[in-house]
Amino acid sequence: MANTTNDINAMTCNLLLRMGDAWFEQGDLRQAVDIYLKIIEHYPDNQESKSAQTALLTIAQRYERDGLLRLSLDILERVGDVMPV
């Protein structure tokens, strides 16, 4: 049963990452941010979590470059809130 649960978790995490990437590619950064944060919070040890962190930093940098410093800082703060201690 444990393998089945692990398989389902891995598949769910992978699906979430693909969804976040799709939102990112479509330019809907707020939707992408929410999904990436969910991955980090619920699946912190998966490879997808590292990909989600990288994507969030990319989004934060984009907001910073565009002069949207508050949005950039908000993302960084939210990442800090969901990262396991």
- pLDDT tens per residue across span 28-48: 999 999 999 999 999 998 899
Angle, CA of 82, 26 and 28, to the nearest 5°: 45
pTM given for the model: 0.89
48-76 tens-digit pLDDT? 999 999 999 999 999 999 999 999 999 99
Q: What is the CA radius of gyration of the chain?
A: 13
Number of domains within the chain: 1
Domain extent for 20 = 2-82
Q: What is the CATH number of the domain that holds 72?
A: 1.25.40
When pLDDT is averaged across residues 10-18 and rounded to a whole number, the result is 94
